[in-house]
Amino acid sequence: MARRDRLYALMQRLRDGRLHTAEAMAQDLGVSVRTIYRDMETLAASGVPVEGARGYGYTVQAAITLPPLNLTEAELEALHLALAALGASDLPEHAASARRLAAKIEAVLPEDVGPAPAPFGFATDAFAEAAHGFIHMPAIRAAIRARQRVRVEIAGAAHDIRPLHLDYFGRVWTCVAWDETVGDFTTLRIDRIAKVTPLPGLFVDEPGKTLADWRNGKT
């Protein structure tokens, strides 16, 4: 069972208000007791009101739960942007709520291989870095739809690219593109882009430079 599904199953089980032991939950879900301990820590850190302790049992009291949701990339982008803006606001209570909500979403997003990502794509010092990245999302999305070449500036370097696809990977938004400056595919983190400038002229598909070519190269 995927971690996301397991966490949801645990929440469903705990919401009955009864006491559940880690051993019983581990046996029912086919995982180790240590895994259940980690899951309980994840749920608690995400704001789920988990009560209990190792060797005693766990329960959840008075929590509002929602059924599973299937989000499109655009919907997740909108949610991400809203949390980023609210988290960077001057309203302490709402900013704190945005952080907790982001942590809950982070807890049930699919796990990715590689180093552990920053929570929900946000910088450690809250949402400022991610909020800055979303400034460029409309321009990049429009360029993908119009097949418009753009110049992006990252870390003081400028690259002329053909943006091909927006993706959500490792809790951050990225853009797959053909980099005309280096003559190869590249994957850019949106929150690392300092500036986006449209370039004259549209691009057309060329062998070896399409999204399909990039995908075939990954397999």
List domains and CATH numbers for the chain: 3-60 (1.10.10.10), 71-219 (2.30.30.100)
Whether this model's pTM surpasses 0.85 = no
pLDDT surpasses 60 at 129: no
pLDDT for res 219: 44
Buried b / exposed e over 46-58, threshold 16 CB at 10 Å, is bbbebebeeeebb
Closest by CA position to 120, among listed 152, 154, 39, 131: 131
pLDDT in tens, 189-201: 888 899 999 999 8
* Amino acid residing at 56: Y
Highest mean pLDDT among 67-76, 124-133, 183-192: 183-192
Are 19 and 57 contacting, i.e. CB atoms less than 8 angstroms apart? Answer: yes
pLDDT for res 146: 94
Q: Which residues, 6 or more positions from 79, have their beta carbon under 8 angstroms from its beta carbon?
A: 71, 105
pLDDT band at 53 (very low <50, low <70, confident <90, very high): confident
Q: Which residues, 6 or more positions from 141, have their beta carbon under 8 angstroms from its beta carbon?
A: 166
